[in-house]
Amino acid sequence: MVPSQLPFGKQQVKALPNILSGTSALQASFNKNSMSNIYMCQQANVFVDLKNAGASNISGAAYIFISEEQYLKPLDKKSGVFSLEGKSLYNPNGGIAQLSFKLENKGLPPQLESYSSPLIFQACYKYQTVANAQICIDPDISNLKRGKVCSVQPVSLSGGQGAPVAVVRVEPLMVPEKDKVKPMLAVYVKNLGDGAVISQENAELACSGKKVTLSSTVALRAEMFGVELDCPDSVRLEPQGETRIICSSTALSSSADTFSTVLLVQLDYGYVTTAVLPVSINAIAEQKPC
């Protein structure tokens, strides 16, 4: 039976997935089939499972495998690039991929029978957060009017916006400016993910293996009723807790009506995701050097 022929009241409409939710970006983990226990002089194959669990596409992400090369020597190229699409209505789970890497133990010091050496996978990429909040703008700060359509109050945003860096709340502020009122918005941003925030410009350098100075800088733009707000071009996130950012709109007449509108906030930044696999290396009794 085709849908148009279903009896009245029997149709089932699936709710659309909420793409702009969650606090993840790239999820990286070593596959269970990776060789984490090897003998001295043995080669090992490892596999990293990748999933873009956020709503932003990942394009040209850099990755690198880092090891103690005196114990785990790479046999494959240890760096490269990949791309993964983000969650969408057509792909609500996000893109997935797998990377493989081969390495070899070149021996242990005579005094060691076993040794655990960490193999680190690190991915560095650009990501984006898009948040929206319904807020109230009330130029009547003297509260002379009655029957207002809304009241000015803080708006909390929970559950994330499909990205690790999230707008967690917005506080509208009505600031007197001569005979007018300037709406200002305190936007609170926080890294809710498991990775590290870096600037967009350093997204690729962070996984180059070179020593670079990194900063947790986020580029910001916001708009309200179709007009871009005056915000800092970029801000450095606090290592712990929330970062407060002030954006301002054009001044309104104090006699203007109270109204509700949508604030749109876009954050652009780099992000670093890391996974670690401890590799146990064991020497067989009386085993000769490699």
Q: What integer pLDDT is reported at residue 40 of this predicted model?
A: 93
Domain of residue 33, CATH code? 2.60.40.10
How high is the pLDDT of residue 143? 86
Residue 5 lies in a domain: no
- Is the domain of 170 the same as that of 248? yes
Instruction: Indicate the number of domains in the chain.
Output: 2
The reply to whether 83 falls in a domain is yes
DSSP-derived secondary structure for the chain: --GGGSPTT---PPPPP--S--S-SEEEEE-TTS--EEETT-EEEEEEEEEE-SSS-EEEEEEEEE--TTTSEESS--EEEEEE----SS-TT--EEEEEEEEE-----TT-SEEEEEEEEEEEEEEEEEEEEEEEE---TT----S-S-----EE--S-SSSSEEEEEEEEEEEEETTEEEEEEEEEEEE-SSSEEE-GGGTTGGGSSS------EEEEEEEETTEE-B--SEEEPPSSS-EEEEEE---EETTSPPEEEEEEEEEEEEEEEEEEEEEEEEPPTTPPP-
DSSP 112-125: -SEEEEEEEEEEEE
- Report, as ranges of residue numbers, the positions in the chain whose pLDDT lies below 70: 1-17
Regarding whether 266 and 189 lie in a shared domain, the answer is yes
Shared domain for 226 and 112, answered yes or no, is no
Q: What is the C-alpha separation between 174 and 181, in angstroms, rounded?
A: 6
- Whether residues 137 and 114 share a domain: the answer is no
Question: Is residue 9 a part of any domain in this protein?
Answer: no
Q: Are 188 and 49 in contact (CB under 8 A)?
A: no
Entry pTM:
0.88
What does the pLDDT read at residue 142? 86
Q: Assess contact for 227 and 168: CB atoms under 8 A.
A: no
Mark whether 157 and 200 lie in a shared domain.
yes
Q: Are residues 87 and 218 in the same domain?
A: no
Alpha carbons within 13 A on the beta-carbon side of 127: 34
114, 133: one domain: no
264 and 153, same domain (yes or no): yes
* C-alpha of 131 from chain center: 13
Q: What is the pLDDT at residue 250?
A: 92
| pLDDT of 17 | 56
Domain that holds residue 220: 127-271
Q: Is 154 found in the same domain as 113? A: no
At 18 the pLDDT is 74
Domain identity same for 78 and 91: yes
Per-residue model confidence (pLDDT) at position 6: 37
